[in-house]
Amino acid sequence: MAGMLVVGLFMGHPLAFVLGGTAVMGAIIAGKPMVLGIVINRIFGDVLDNYVLIAIPLFVLMARFLSDSGVTDRMFEALRHLMARVTGGLGLAVVFISILLAATTGIIGASITVMGMMALRPMLQYGYDKRLASGLIAASGCLGILIPPSIMLILMASYAPGLSVGQLFAGAMVPGLLLGLMYAGYVAVVAWLKPEWAPPVQEEEQIERGALWKMLLIEAVPPLVLILGILGSMLAGVATATEASAIGAALALLIVIVRGRFEWRTFYSAMLETGRTSAMILFIVVGATAFTGVFNITGGLRASQDLIRGLADNPHTLVAVMLLVVFVLGMFLDWTGIVLLSFPIFLPLVSEMGMDPLWFVVLMAVVLQTSFLSPPFGYALFYMRAIAPPEVSTADIIRGVLPFIALVLLMCGLIMFYPPLVSWLPTTLYGPAL
């Protein structure tokens, strides 16, 4: 089954159908076609009746509404002018706006495309190094899968026994923000060591501070209300993840209306894009559920766990091996397939070792940042290539993301050796019984 999966992917077939087709062929080759009936029941029980997954299309819809409102464009302009006097200020503005986008959308493609369209050309015009500019935008845009509300965290919580979406959101909050600050620190260090890579904006293009603060205050209110409505309602225990996603979609639509940007044409387009994105994710979920079901019943799951157990005796070494597997898979698969294929193998081993599943799942979420950045199939690289001008080569983009991949791995090391980075906020909000 693993061999058929690899062959199907390298032939260029869609992941969802490779997973589902491999499940059917695996059951037939194993001489157990009757297990497909069990798999179908599991798909209906675990996927189609999973109430938490309703949050996915609602968060996608919210992201599209927020993009239509134009809030991020104005926020970036305000921050760009505010930090104009600082060496590397434009790069810092990219990081902070990306963190804001991550906390309001959680859609990687949307974040990278929006930031690339807004920031890449101005950064190049002001003399920023091509590798620094493209790598920073690609890496900062990927924060959306780690900083809540994140579609990936919702899917992870629905497949991690004993973990709620609220706990996972709280656990990923500190690592996500800290990783964003590490990106900002990297830009600041590069700007200090090599000012020609990240020069400040010319003085004649700077505008008056009072007007800037006023613009920033006006433009910051809508996204902050949105973040408070989503995360505040969830972390305070007022709403579940699904209810919070509905609150977010409603608030985003209200922002579009208040700003006078509502049009029936764009509303219809938002609905259509939400349907396409949600269908793509859920098709992969159905295919992966079928694959893991057949893989489990035919003994592949137990064999994989025994293989991993044999690689190391020390629990932390075993976790490092599992994270290495995730890192390598990230070069070839997207996060959806990795999560759904690895969770049934890894999570029982983590419980068996007596380790905190929340800590491990957040560790995996951090490592999966690299799945968007690592060649040859990093989606962030493709998004950047699509919007980058001809003078920025693919090699520039790849070299630009390498330092940020190193920062992601450094963040993993910090979490491994200092678990309170993950556990502090969930323990504060929900108590120690995780």
Q: Of the candidates 333, 414, 400, which has an alpha carbon nearest to the alpha carbon of residue 10?
A: 333
Q: What is the pLDDT of residue 213?
A: 72
Q: What is the 3-state secondary structure (H, E, C) of the chain?
A: CHHHHHHHHHCCCCHHHHHHHHHHHHHHHCCCCCHHHHHHHHHHHHHHCCHHHHHHHHHHHHHHHHHHHCHHHHHHHHHHHHCCCCCCHHHHHHHHHHHHHHCCCCCHHHHHHHHHHHHHHHHHHCCCCHHHHHHHHHHHHHHHHCCCCCHHHHHHHHHCCCCCHHHHHHHHHHHHHHHHHHHHHHHHHHHHHCHHHCCCCCHHHCCCHHHHHHHHHHHHHHHHHHHHHHHHHHHCCCCCHHHHHHHHHHHHHHHHHHCCCCCHHHHHHHHHHHHHHHHHHHHHHHHHHHHHHHHHHCCHHHHHHHHHHHHCCCHHHHHHHHHHHHHHHCCCCCHHHHHHHHHHHHHHHHHHCCCCHHHHHHHHHHHCHHHHHCCCCCHHHHHHHHHCCCCCCHHHHHHHHHHHHHHHHHHHHHHHHCCHHHHHHHHHHHCCCC
pLDDT at 343 over 70: yes
Task: Look up residue 402 and give its amino acid.
Answer: L
Closest CA to 139 of 427, 398, 419: 398
The residue among 35, 10, 38 whose CA lies nearest residue 25 is: 35
Give the chain's largest Cα–Cα span. 75
Return the pLDDT at 203.
57
Per-residue H/E/C for 327-362: HHHCCCCCHHHHHHHHHHHHHHHHHHCCCCHHHHHH
pLDDT band with cut points at 50, 70 and 90 for residue 434 = very low
31: Cβ–Cβ under 8 A, 6 or more apart, which residues?
none
Across residues 292-320, what is the average pLDDT?
81
pTM for this model (two decimals): 0.83
Averaging pLDDT over each range in 20-24, 44-48, 373-377, which range is the top one?
20-24
pLDDT at 54 > cutoff 90 = no
Ranges 18-32, 46-60, 251-265, 336-350: which has the least confidence: 46-60
pLDDT in tens, 119-129: 888 888 888 89
Phi, psi of 376 (to 5 degrees): -90, -10
| Cβ atoms within 10 Å, residue 3 | 8
Residue range 45-64: average pLDDT? 80
CA 3, 8, 12, 18 torsion: positive or negative? Answer: negative
Number of domains in the chain: 1
Q: Range of 167's domain?
A: 1-430
CA torsion 168-224-253-250 (nearest 10°) is 50
Q: Which two tokens stand for residue 319?
A: 């976790």
Is the pLDDT at 267 greater than 80? The verdict is yes
Which tens digits make up the pLDDT trace of 69-92? 777 777 777 777 777 677 788 888
State the amino acid at position 369 in one-letter form: Q
Chain centroid to CA 11: 26
Residue 261 vs residues 17, 70, 298: alpha-carbon distances, Å: 38, 8, 54
| pLDDT tens profile 249-258 | 898 899 889 8
